[in-house]
Amino acid sequence: MSAAFDLYTKLKHSSSDEERAEVIAQAFDALEARFPQLNDLATQGHVREAELRLQKEIKEVEARLQKDIKALELQIKEVDARLQERISQLEVSLHQALAAQTRWLIGGLAILGVVLKLADVLIGP
Encode burial over 12-49: b for 16+ CB neighbours within 10 A, e otherwise.
Answer: eeeeeeeeeeebeeebeeeeeeeeeeeeeeeeeeeeee
Name the band, by pLDDT with cuts 50, 70 and 90, for residue 111.
Answer: very high
Residue 96 lies in a domain: no
Residue 65 lies in a domain: no
Residue 24 lies in a domain: yes
Report the domain count for the chain: 1
Distance CA 7, CA 111 (A): 122
Residue 50 lies in a domain: no
Distance CA 7, CA 10 (A): 5
Which tens digits make up the pLDDT trace of 30-57?
877 777 666 667 788 888 999 999 999 9
Distance CA 8, CA 3 (A): 9
Boundaries of domain holding 6: 1-41
Identify the pLDDT of residue 107.
94
Residue 108 lies in a domain: no
Residue 14 lies in a domain: yes
Name the band, by pLDDT with cuts 50, 70 and 90, for residue 91.
Answer: very high
Residue 76 lies in a domain: no
Q: What is the mean pLDDT of residues 88-112?
A: 96
Q: What is the mean pLDDT of residues 101-114?
A: 94
Q: Is pLDDT at 12 greater than 90 in this prediction?
A: no
Residue 33 lies in a domain: yes
